[in-house]
């Protein structure tokens, strides 16, 4: 049986850690050549090395998703190395804690720059190389669908990613390119640790317990839960899906 991303070239942004790293490994396992893009060159190199160790194909790329020139250069390098581009997973993201009353302009702008502008710039750069049958997977969050206290900029930014996805899906459907967005519930990664500790008034364990009550399925997400959804949306198995908002969230938004 052929692998699910056989002969495909994928770029995963923010692939040096957490969900992005798990997705890069999963894509490679399913036959994709993976360009591992991250702000941190060391983190990108580590993920690429993990893929190499499993006899997969990987290229580490250091770039900031806020910078168009860096992205064009990195994405061109991936295409030169692997001979094409079929999948873009716009996963890189940062959080921002605070209500509107106590969020600084700098924090607001940083959150939008990485999560929203980053998704726009990576997509624009990748689209120079993507043709019919390609897929873009954007990373939203349950915070883009429901309100989360003290997460104002993050909720607004992820809501923008959901809207952008729908708009991109319509614009790109005539070109045969699908665009979907994943809105995960809480997954325990370096990004979420400070948020969980804050929710427990500084006590991480208490923060985890307070978060868990929102999850009918009785646990938080694991990076593999989200990587598997990304894999499906990236693959031809999702050929009739575009503009979809997919919620691996343990039932959190079903309530």
Contacting positions for ligand NAD (CB under 6 A): 13-14, 16-20, 38-40, 43, 64-66, 91-94, 114, 118, 139, 141, 184, 186-187, 189-192
Give me the least distance between CB of 6 and ligand NAD, in Å please: 26
Give me the least distance between CB of 91 and ligand NAD, in Å please: 5
Residue 141 and residue 184 in contact, taking contact as beta carbons nearer than 8 Å: yes
Largest CA distance in the chain: 55
Structure-block tokens of residue 60: 């580490």
Could you tell me which residues are beta bridge partners of residue 11?
A: 35, 88
In this complex, which beta carbon is closest to ligand NAD, that of residue 3 or of residue 222?
A: 222
In this complex, which beta carbon is closest to ligand NAD, that of residue 57 or of residue 253?
A: 253
In this complex, which beta carbon is closest to ligand NAD, that of residue 3 or of residue 98?
A: 98
What is the C-alpha separation between 13 and 93, in angstroms, rounded?
Answer: 9
In this complex, which beta carbon is closest to ligand NAD, that of residue 18 or of residue 159?
A: 18
Counting Cα atoms < 13 Å in the Cβ hemisphere of 47 gives 35
89 is a catalytic site residue: no
Give me the least distance between CB of 79 and ligand NAD, in Å please: 18
Burial grade of 20 (CB within 10 A; 0-12, 13-18, 19 or more): buried
What is the C-alpha separation between 69 and 67, in angstroms, rounded?
Answer: 6
Letter string b/e over residues 168-184, b meaning 16 or more CB atoms within 10 A of that residue's CB: bbeebeeeebbbbbbbb
Give me the least distance between CB of 254 and ligand NAD, in Å please: 16
In this complex, which beta carbon is closest to ligand NAD, that of residue 56 or of residue 250?
A: 250
Query: Which of the residues 82, 112, 151, 154 is marked catalytic?
Result: 154
Give me the least distance between CB of 106 and ligand NAD, in Å please: 15
- What is each CA distance from 85 to 27, 63, 93, 198, 241, in whole angstroms? 13, 17, 22, 40, 19
Could you tell me which residues are beta bridge partners of residue 181?
A: 138, 245
What is the C-alpha separation between 7 and 165, in angstroms, rounded?
Answer: 25
- Residues taking part in catalysis: 154
């Amino acid at each position: 049986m052929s692998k699910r991303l056989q002969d495909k070239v994928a770029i995963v942004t923010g692939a040096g850690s957490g969900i992005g790293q798990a997705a890069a490994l999963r894509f490679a396992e399913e036959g994709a050549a993976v360009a591992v893009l991250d702000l941190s060159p060391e983190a990108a190199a580590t993920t690429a090395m993990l893929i190499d160790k499993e006899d997969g194909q990987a290229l580490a790329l250091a770039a900031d998703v806020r910078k168009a020139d860096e992205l064009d250069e990195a994405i061109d390098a991936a295409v030169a190395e692997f001979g094409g581009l079929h999948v873009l997973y716009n996963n890189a993201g940062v959080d921002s804690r605070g209500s509107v009353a106590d969020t600084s302009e700098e924090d607001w702008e940083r959150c939008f720059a990485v999560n929203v502008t980053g998704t726009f710039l990576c997509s624009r750069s990748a689209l120079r190389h993507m043709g019919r049958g390609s897929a873009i997977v954007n990373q939203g969050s349950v915070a883009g669908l429901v309100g989360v206290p003290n997460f104002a900029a993050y909720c607004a930014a992820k809501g923008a990613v959901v809207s952008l996805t729908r708009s991109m899906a319509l614009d790109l459907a005539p070109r045969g390119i699908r665009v979907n967005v994943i809105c995960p519930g809480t997954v325990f990664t370096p990004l979420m640790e400070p948020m969980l500790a804050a929710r427990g008034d500084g006590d991480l364990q208490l923060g985890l317990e307070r978060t868990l009550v929102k999850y009918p399925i009785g646990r938080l997400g694991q990076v593999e839960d989200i990587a598997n959804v990304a894999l499906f949306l990236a693959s031809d198995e999702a050929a009739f899906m575009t503009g979809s908002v997919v919620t691996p969230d343990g039932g959190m938004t079903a309530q």
